[in-house]
């Protein structure tokens, strides 16, 4: 029964300064003053949404559901009470007694903070400060750490800035707090905004609330969920905060009346960024959800705050103190409450969808959350799969975990493990998920990715993703998949339009922008691709991926000096998209020494087997171009052997087969090279087949002009950004074609437009 009566509350403790001395000097007067003070304190507490739950002599205990409201009340109490009072504020776990009294450690801390405060002042614990945002929070400054009397713990305490307005005047306080931050924006804007805030504050005094609508740039019913702060004492519990945030975001994304930014766009952000208005403008939203999660044993405390970015004002805030097995219900409550605060419509069907419990086993859900957190980490796919497998071991009927397993296994099949065993693992997980919950959007999404990644049935996958999009409108993965399918099927304008929609929906998600740039390059719209790349680098300065992408565009334009300058700082990066650009630059410039040194340095480190084989392949090619035939053969033979071994294990992996074709090509074995190139082409589906490129390059390498040149002519008529006239003029692979007039026409014919 005791467990059911516990809750989290912000406690305000206060007493009359110098009470004993006052009583000794004039007991009757002091008693009358304290009695009058009792009524005033009660009224102030009620005005800020709190209540007095205990009083004895000159001491008073108040509780508030919000830390912000508690601090506002403490501010007013310290300023207006006569005789002067000392005030302490702390956020803590308390137990509710049948008579409404509260007991617990949190109350003891608040009382001891009060005892350390000076008359007419407030001491606020770090736990309370952490729960606050906005001007009032900005007005607090740290007094350092103190050890509480008769307690072992040391806590940081805060008080108000010494020159903050010292009266209960909302206009003066807001004007002061605004002045502290006005230097961050242009003076004229600051004056206008300051005037607007003060004017709004005057209205708020009458209406009892301060509500300023944001500009037209973002719909009111739009939200970004920032990374939740992990307050758990166990650092290993960080996964829990990530998982809870992800689950709340997933529920919000299923509400069609809301615009919701994906986790990928916000993952790199701070839990409490400094300038919410600027961040919201970048994301194209009007509202920000911040939160924190604290898990201790089987109990979880989730604190969430919905903030209107334009005003930095709270629209809604709540603290949930529950058992782990109640966390699913909390996530649904939060999603519904946010929708209500934003006046967003939640249909009965949507409410039912987000309220459905996924598992009744806490240990299964914890394993699932570990998997969710791992899936967001680079290189975390294997760990995610292991955690999802653990989740379904705890609860074999956990459809959500089966769907997550199916998706991870399908991705693994597509990207590095195209074996029958891997295909079977993905299929088995999907079959289990579909049997349990065919109506679940996550299950339908997993089915779409299985069809796309494993079966490569793009037409059916497209139908499945469109079905998911109808019920899960904010799930950006459907946009990404549909854009990729359109590209594979040669519907380039459609692919471009889908990716542009995705960028508009989630402007801070790098992979979305990268996909759009890739389509623009393939369509030979290099100016538009360069513009998108520059915008990306403005958002993510120095990002290696976008820097390498910009170098690739310059290479296609024949601007080798510009490309080389961009690539030089990236020599230490072993990412595929970086070292391939460095190899291409060396080939186009016909300067091989530096690039060979870069690859040798990377190979000296412990590289994954397929990555090492690809580096060996590029290294052998560069050595051959530089005239070092002996060492070229050594590197190429090592690469060939690695790819051949992998081919025996993954005979349907088109990427492995294609690499094997290239190895045979540079080793001088034309027939085997073409045999494997044809195999790769046969394994690829869709109307655009990138492995036809390898076949053309093999023909060019061996001087088969009547095969290579017509193939190049076909490629230049279809969208394919790889072979601009500049590339044809510079790439050594085409040296044996240069005396043919047909090739020279291709290399110069579009020179004016590239």
**pLDDT averaged over every residue in the chain:** 84
Per DSSP, helices labelled H in 342-457 are 348-355, 362-375, 381-394, 399-415, 420-436, 441-450
Rounded Cα distance, 15 and 119, in Å: 9
Site of tokens 């299985």: 450
pLDDT tens, residue by residue, 468-512: 988 888 888 999 999 999 998 889 999 999 999 898 888 888 989
pLDDT tens, residue by residue, 507-534: 888 989 999 999 999 898 999 999 999 9
Confidence at residue 216, expressed as pLDDT on a 0 to 100 scale:
43
Classify the C-alpha dihedral 636-638-643-644 as positive or negative.
positive
Residues β-bridged to residue 313: 308
Confidence at residue 203, expressed as pLDDT on a 0 to 100 scale:
32
Across 158-186, average pLDDT: 44
Across 198-220, average pLDDT: 40
Confidence at residue 208, expressed as pLDDT on a 0 to 100 scale:
32
Confidence at residue 177, expressed as pLDDT on a 0 to 100 scale:
38
Rounded Cα distance, 140 and 485, in Å: 53
Confidence at residue 402, expressed as pLDDT on a 0 to 100 scale:
97
Which domains are seen in the chain, by residue range?
2-167 (3.30.70.1230), 172-207 (no CATH), 222-355 (3.40.50.10070), 358-472 (1.25.40.10)
Q: Which two tokens stand for residue 687?
A: 């109307």
- 671 Cβ contact list (under 8 Å, min separation 6): none
Kindly tell me if the per-residue pLDDT of 631 is higher than 60. Answer: yes
3-state DSSP helix/strand/coil percent for the chain, to nearest 5? Answer: 60, 15, 25
| pTM of the shown model | 0.68
Kindly tell me if the per-residue pLDDT of 362 is higher than 60. Answer: yes
Other beta carbons less than 10 A from residue 105's beta carbon: 14
Confidence at residue 320, expressed as pLDDT on a 0 to 100 scale:
80
**Residue 474: alpha-carbon gap to chain centroid:** 14
Confidence at residue 367, expressed as pLDDT on a 0 to 100 scale:
92
Rounded Cα distance, 352 and 356, in Å: 6
Higher pLDDT, 274 or 596: 596
Establish how many alpha carbons lie within 13 A of residue 159's alpha carbon, considering only the half-sphere containing its beta carbon. 20
Kindly tell me if the per-residue pLDDT of 600 is higher than 90. Answer: yes
Establish how many alpha carbons lie within 13 A of residue 40's alpha carbon, considering only the half-sphere containing its beta carbon. 18
Confidence at residue 248, expressed as pLDDT on a 0 to 100 scale:
85
pLDDT tens, residue by residue, 373-404: 888 887 788 899 999 999 999 999 999 999 99
* Confidence bin at 215 (pLDDT 50/70/90): very low
Rounded Cα distance, 697 and 276, in Å: 52
């Amino acid at each position: 029964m005791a467990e059911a009566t516990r809750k989290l509350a912000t406690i305000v403790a206060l007493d009359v300064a110098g009470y004993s001395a006052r009583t000794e000097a004039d007991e009757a007067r002091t008693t009358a003053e304290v009695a009058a003070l009792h009524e005033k304190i009660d009224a102030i507490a009620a005005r800020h949404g709190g209540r007095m739950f205990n009083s004895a002599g000159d001491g008073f205990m108040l509780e508030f559901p919000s830390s912000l409201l508690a601090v506002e009340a403490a501010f007013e109490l310290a300023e207006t009470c006569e005789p002067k009072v000392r005030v302490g504020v702390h956020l803590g776990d308390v137990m509710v007694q049948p008579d409404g009294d509260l007991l617990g450690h949190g109350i003891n801390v608040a009382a001891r903070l009060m005892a350390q405060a000076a008359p007419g002042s407030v001491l606020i614990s770090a736990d309370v400060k952490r729960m606050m945002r906005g001007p009032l929070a900005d007005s607090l400054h740290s007094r350092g750490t103190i050890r509480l009397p008769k307690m072992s713990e040391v806590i940081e305490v805060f008080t108000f800035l010494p020159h903050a307005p010292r009266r209960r005047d909302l206009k003066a306080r807001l004007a002061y707090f605004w002045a502290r931050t006005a230097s961050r924006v242009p003076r004229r804007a600051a004056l206008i905004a300051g005037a607007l805030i003060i004017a709004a504050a005057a209205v708020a005094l009458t209406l009892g609330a301060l509500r300023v609508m944001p500009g037209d740039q973002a719909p009111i019913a739009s939200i970004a969920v920032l990374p939740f702060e992990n307050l758990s004492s166990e650092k290993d519990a960080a996964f829990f905060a990530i998982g809870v945030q992800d689950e709340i975001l997933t529920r919000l994304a299923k509400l069609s009346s809301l615009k919701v930014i994906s986790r990928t766009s916000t993952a790199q952000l701070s839990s409490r960024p400094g300038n919410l208005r600027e961040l919201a403008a970048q994301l194209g939203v009007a509202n920000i959800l911040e939160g924190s999660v604290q898990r201790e044993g089987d109990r979880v405390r989730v604190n969430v705050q919905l903030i209107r970015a334009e005003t930095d004002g709270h629209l809604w805030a709540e603290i949930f103190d529950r058992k782990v097995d109640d966390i699913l219900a909390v996530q649904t409550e939060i999603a519904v409450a946010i929708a209500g605060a934003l006046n967003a419509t939640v249909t009965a069907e949507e409410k039912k969808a987000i309220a459905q419990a996924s598992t009744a086993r806490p240990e299964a859900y914890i394993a699932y959350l570990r998997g969710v957190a791992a899936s967001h980490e680079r290189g975390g796919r294997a760990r995610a799969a292991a955690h999802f497998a653990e989740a379904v071991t705890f609860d074999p009927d956990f459809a959500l975990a089966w769907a997550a397993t199916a998706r991870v296994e399908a991705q693994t099949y597509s990207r590095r493990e195209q074996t029958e065993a891997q295909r079977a693992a993905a299929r088995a997980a999907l079959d289990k998920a579909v049997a349990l919950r065919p109506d679940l959007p996550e299950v339908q999404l997993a089915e779409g990715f299985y069809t796309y990644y494993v079966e490569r049935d793009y037409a059916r996958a497209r139908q499945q993703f469109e079905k998911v999009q109808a019920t899960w409108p904010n799930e950006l993965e459907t946009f990404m998949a549909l854009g990729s399918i359109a590209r594979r099927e040669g519907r380039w304008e459609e692919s471009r339009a889908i990716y542009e929609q995705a960028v508009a929906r989630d402007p801070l998600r790098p992979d979305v922008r990268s996909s759009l740039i890739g389509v623009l390059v393939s369509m030979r719209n290099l100016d538009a691709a360069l513009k998108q790349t520059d915008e990306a680098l403005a958002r993510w300065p120095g990002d290696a991926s976008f820097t390498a992408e910009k170098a690739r565009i310059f290479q296609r334009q024949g601007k080798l000096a510009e490309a080389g300058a961009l690539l030089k700082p990236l020599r230490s990066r072993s990412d595929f998209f970086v070292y391939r650009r460095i190899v291409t630059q060396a080939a186009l410039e016909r300067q091989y020494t530096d690039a060979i040194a870069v690859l040798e340095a990377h190979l000296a480190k412990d590289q994954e087997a397929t990555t090492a084989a690809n580096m060996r392949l590029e290294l052998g090619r560069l050595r051959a171009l530089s005239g070092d035939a002996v060492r070229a053969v050594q590197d190429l033979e090592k690469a060939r052997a690695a790819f051949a071994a992998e081919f025996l294990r993954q005979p349907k992996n088109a990427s492995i087969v294609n690499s094997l074709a290239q190895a045979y090509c540079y080793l001088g074995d034309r027939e085997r090279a073409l045999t494997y190139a044809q195999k790769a082409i046969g394994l690829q589906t869709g109307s655009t087949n990138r492995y036809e490129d390898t076949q053309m390059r093999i023909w060019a390498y061996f001087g088969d002009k009547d095969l290579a040149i017509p193939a190049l002519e076909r490629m230049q008529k279809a969208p394919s950004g790889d072979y601009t006239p500049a590339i044809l003029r510079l790439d050594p692979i085409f040296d044996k074609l240069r005396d043919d007039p047909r090739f020279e026409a291709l290399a110069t014919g579009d020179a004016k437009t590239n």
